[in-house]
Structure 1
């Protein structure tokens, strides 16, 4: 509360001197009271802009600071000159009238200059730089992600190729085993006597083999040993060969 109160008191005390100086410079009673408003608003605006740009590290800090100091100097000069004239220590002059008359247009010009937005241009540049940084970051992340995914897919492809080669080798081995089994079956089948090859000597040899193995030379055992049916056995004279 102390700071606002002091500011209000200082502005209130500066009003009479600035109004008197405006009257001395030739402004009428209706326009003279605007002089303290002009100087006060000018000082507050310049100080606020200078503080903001300093905090945000924006350009134009020096210009705003100079404006704030100029407003304070004008306010101090207005008070001093007004009191000097009022106490008859000095008289008005053409130079003083010109200087006081130039205060409003100079104030407006400097406020417009500070209101011009170089900070927005800089901010846009900063935003553009940040956008480029974000794009570069996303490009790096995308490249890394694509590289990682490509590495994973390549590793999976290599494992799939190895499994395919393993299955291919296993299928080749299985094919070879099947071929060998078929060949063995064919050889075993070719070793069995066909009905046309069923002779008396074959029947006699089968009977001898059964006797040596401790088995009886029955028709069933003989057909099993010769690999023929009983009809074929009898057709080719098996019974007669055993009884002969």
Structure 2
């Protein structure tokens, strides 16, 4: 997989870097009044905290709804990318959190506009939001402490090149007929010839030198590069530690 560098125009860089957090913050701020109102409708009010000060606990509803939805979306994306054990729960939670945030806003504005009134069902549903959110966040927190993930990769160094002795000749891979593979010496010779000619060793140039497709040449380059890794780093039989 090749990496492409894209030079964005200045205005696009500003939008990409600062636009997203501004939009997110604005959306969260606009969600606060409706969610606080919904909490107040359900019966949350100001309470005395140990006689020291008074706290309006209804202000916690935006955290349980909008902020929870934002957190769930991020956790679901990270869990999917790293294949964490809780990725299914995180994805389901992200969808449920978005539905919860949308419903909370709609219901609050319907009540304010006198399209509907409160009921015991609505009060019960709103009252259940904080414990449900707390339970799901604790469940998603059961992810591994480290974000490192071990990935098993096929060790192709042994079967990518054609063996030198005649006794090992024959089909290298079942079900994949075609031209016989090249030996490691042939690939190294082609690389040396490119370097002597002052050419960059890329999948395209190596492919032309070997008479192979760039994709095949890229695979050979990966094998050569892996062969140069010290034995101490490759002693686990093709198991690599990928740290994100």
Query: Which is strand-richer, 1 or 2?
Result: 2
What TM-score does the superposition give when structure 2 sets the normalisation length?
Answer: 0.49
What TM-score does the superposition give when structure 1 sets the normalisation length?
Answer: 0.49
Highest Rg: 1 or 2? 1
